[in-house]
Amino acid sequence: MRQMRPYTSGAIALALATVIFVLPFVFIALQAVKSKSEASRLDFTLPEQWLFWDNLAAVFQARDYQLVLAYFNSTLITVVSVTILILFSAMVGYVMQRRRTRWNAVASGALFMGLMMPPAVVPTIGLLQEIGLFKTITGMILIQVAYNLSFSTLLYRSFISTIPRDLDEAALIDGAKPWQIFFRVILPLLKPVTVTNIVVQSIAIFNDFTNPLYYLPGKENVTVQLTLYNFQSMYTSQYNLLFMNILLVTVPPLIVFIFFNRQIVAGMTAGAVKG
Amino acid sequence: MTETRLRSRKSPYPLWFFLPAAAVYGVLFVVPTVSSLWFSLTRWDLSSAEFIGLENFRQFFSEPFLVKGLVNTLIYALTTSGLKTICGLLLAVLLTGNIFARGFLRTLVFFPVLVSTIGIGIAFTVMMHPTKGIINAMLETLGIPGPGWLTNPALALFSVALVDLWKGVGLATLIFIAGLAAISPDYYEAARIDGATRFQQFWRITLPLVRPATITVITLSLIGGLRSFDLIWAMTRGGPGFSSDVIASVIYKQYQAGFYGLSTAGNVILFALIAIIILPLTVWLNRREVEQ
């Protein structure tokens, strides 16, 4: 009896979890490969015709290959902002953890604010217009850096405390300049937390919808999430294409998750204060 | 000794390392936040701002649909936060126990956290369709008449909150799993020897000792709930009527309509709401922790 228990409770949990967490994804995948008329019935059946490639092509071709542009824009924003984010937040985390100055209190306060407070959107738009960065990819990148700095810095600050100061000392005695200590000694040692940061922030920025909606309007600037949002009204009669689109944004995080499971879990639990 | 030597020389930890981050954060986050306090007091068209005192706030609190957004924000945040805390803890207890397919189940529960909120929102909007949606179709086979999840004004906000739970419970579960892993098994062994039931073990050992994780989950999900926009926007656009509007969607609607001052006032109200709820909560929860 006692030995049976893990299996029975496990089986019940597995069945429930399958219904609750797997069925929605199966449903998405099924609609995505159906024909237009079949998908419009929105029922849970296997497709009579499997139109995976047709639907995939149709979604990519829609509106002059807008989705291709969207993938390009989203990837560009994600890669550049994560790169800047890594560099800036590692620098801040390092000095905050190592050097005791009165600026630390200011920086801690700023970190806390950044995690908690929503951005003031309209004044930000006004400011971006003022400096000529509204509706530009550059502006969007800098916004993503500003909004995600707190979380990255927090991860770095706690990780840097595990690196012994003796290393800094040794490098200093060997004649390294301060910036060399950081870039040649410390930064390479931060690799595990850097990977965590890259993975968690890439997912967050790639999936971001609200900020591109506000700061990056315009057809030529469209991102993947905005495309999906626009397709929602465009495809009300073509659920197969709408769901193919949803499938396309679901696959990248799935792949990332399969490869970086450990880093994601570490990153999410370590600081884990994101709206 | 190390300390004095480092200090007597020029510090090897240059303060200018703060500068790049401070510049971006200062210009794009701090400046707009501070200036929002001013712009919320103006009639504003992005080029010129006319000072009108507290008129925007007076208007906000005298329009029933705007106040509705405020009330909904509180309801939504409390509902999602409460559900995520309870379900997250129960799932975490289940998924740290000795059960079959544990790793797979953890993955399953966590995966929606990583998926596009808009994608999830659209998919669930379709599944919650009152007549064609699969959720009601499934309920019908069980003989239960399914409600109009997103079309019934009394229900729409809670339907979105349920989807939020579905999407976000994995993160709460993950934090609780980390918290549970930190509890020494010795406590449970001692309790078993003393003859404590499983429920007593949960109530007297697990619950008090998982407290730091609970604080994290509550704070996190409250902040998330108060700020939430994308899921609500993808699923209902604040409707039907204004029944599922929250402050964040009010801010967006007023911005779209060109009422920039009013929109910014909405932002200031959201700041205040978050500060009023989260700051005392953090202080109170952390003090109780010290007392114990």
Pick A127's closest partner by Cβ from B31, B119, B224: B31
Instruction: Please state whether A80 falls in left (phi above 0), alpha (psi between -120 and 50) or beta.
Output: alpha
> Residue A274: which pLDDT band, with cuts at 50, 70 and 90?
very low
Selecting from B100, B271, B278 the residue whose C-beta is nearest the C-beta of A7 gives B100
Specify the pLDDT at position A106: 92
pLDDT in tens, B11-45: 889 989 999 999 999 999 999 999 999 999 998 88
Distance (Å, whole) CA B229 – CA A119: 13
Distance CA A155, CA B106 (A): 23
Query: Mind listing the pLDDT tens digit for each residue in A191-242?
Result: 999 999 999 999 999 999 999 999 999 888 999 999 999 888 777 778 889 9
Q: Mutating which of A97, A122, A244, A259 best tests the B interface, going by the most B Cβ atoms within 10 A?
A: A122
Check if B98 contacts A (Cβ < 8 Å). Answer: yes
- Cα–Cα distance measured from residue A267 to residue A80, given in angstroms and rounded to the nearest whole number: 20
Whether the pLDDT of residue A271 is over 70: the answer is no
- A21-65 pLDDT, tens digit per residue, is 999 999 999 999 988 888 888 888 888 888 889 889 988 888 888
Nearest-CB residue to A117 (from B33, B166, B220): B33
- Chain A residues with CB inside 8 Å of B12's CB? 168, 172, 178, 181
| Pair A134, A125: CB distance under 8 Å | yes
**B30/A27 touch (CB, cutoff 8 Å), yes or no:** no
Check: CB of residue B278 under 8 Å from CB of residue A116.
yes
Which residue from B73, B224, B92, B123 is spatially nearest to A246, judged by alpha carbons?
Answer: B123
- Does the beta carbon of B18 lie under 8 angstroms from any beta carbon of chain A? yes
pLDDT tops 60 at residue B291: no
**Which residues numbered 104-143 in B keep a CB inside 8 Å of some CB on A?**
104-105, 107-119, 122-124, 126-127, 129, 132-134, 137
**Mean pLDDT of the B72-86 span:** 97
CA distances B147 to A20, B13, B131, B234, B242, Å, are 18, 62, 9, 20, 19
- B152: contact with A, CB 8 A cutoff: no
B15 interaction partners in chain A (CB closer than 8 Å)? 95, 99, 101, 103
Q: Give the B window 49-88 contacts with A, CB below 8 Å.
A: none
Whether residue B2 and residue A165 make contact (CB cut-off 8 A), yes or no, is yes
Please report which confidence band the pLDDT of residue A251 belongs to, taking 50, 70 and 90 as the band edges: confident
| Residue B256 binned pLDDT confidence (cut-offs 50, 70, 90) | very high
With contact defined as beta carbons under 8 Å apart, do B234 and B117 qualify? yes
**Pick from A7-11, A76-80, A91-95, B286-290: least confident:** B286-290
Which residues of B are less than 8 Å from A21 in CB distance?
Answer: 108-109, 111-112, 166
Q: Shortest CA distance to B274 belongs to which of A116, A79, A6, A52?
A: A116
What is the gyration radius of the CA atoms in chain B, in angstroms?
24
> For residue B267, which residues of chain A lie inside 8 Å, CB to CB?
118, 120-122
In angstroms, rounded to a whole number, what is the distance separating the alpha carbons of residues A228 and A66? 11
Minimal Cα distance from B174: which residue of A?
A: A269
Q: Is B143 left (phi over 0), alpha (psi -120 to 50) or beta?
A: left
pLDDT for residue A1: 39
Mind listing the pLDDT tens digit for each residue in A64-118? Answer: 889 999 999 999 999 999 999 999 999 999 999 999 888 899 999 999 899 999 9
In angstroms, the CA B124 to CA B118 distance is: 10
Q: Please answer yes or no on whether B29 and A114 come within 8 Å at the CB atom.
A: yes
Count of Cβ atoms closer than 10 Å to residue B220 Cβ: 22
Dihedral Cα B35, B37, B42, B45, nearest 10 deg: 40
Which chain A residues have a beta carbon less than 8 Å from that of B114? Answer: 203, 207, 253-254, 256-257, 264
Model confidence at B50, in pLDDT bands (50, 70, 90)? confident
The verdict on a CB contact (< 8 Å) between B137 and A116 is no
pLDDT digits (tens, 9 = 90+) for B209-249: 999 899 999 999 999 999 999 999 999 999 899 999 999 99
Contact residues, chain A, for B33 at CB < 8 Å = 113, 117, 119-120, 123
Q: Are B100 and A119 a contacting pair at CB < 8 A?
A: no
In angstroms, the CA B102 to CA B94 distance is 9
CA-nearest residue to A143 within chain B is: B28
Averaged confidence pLDDT in chain A:
88
B27 neighbourhood in chain A, CB within 8 Å: 127, 146
Using a CB-CB distance cutoff of 8 angstroms, which residues of chain B are in contact with residue A123?
Answer: 31-33, 35-36, 39, 264
Beta strand pairing status for B49-51 and B42-44? antiparallel
In chain B, where do the E strands start and end? 42-44, 49-51
**B21–A94: do the CB atoms touch at under 8 Å?**
no
Q: What percentage of chain A carries pLDDT values higher than 90?
A: 57
Instruction: From B15, B182, B163, select the one nearest B79 (Cα to Cα).
Output: B163
Chains A & B: contacts with CB separation below 8 Å = 254
Q: What is the ipTM of this complex?
A: 0.89
Let me know: does B130 contact B151? Beta carbons within 8 Å. Answer: yes
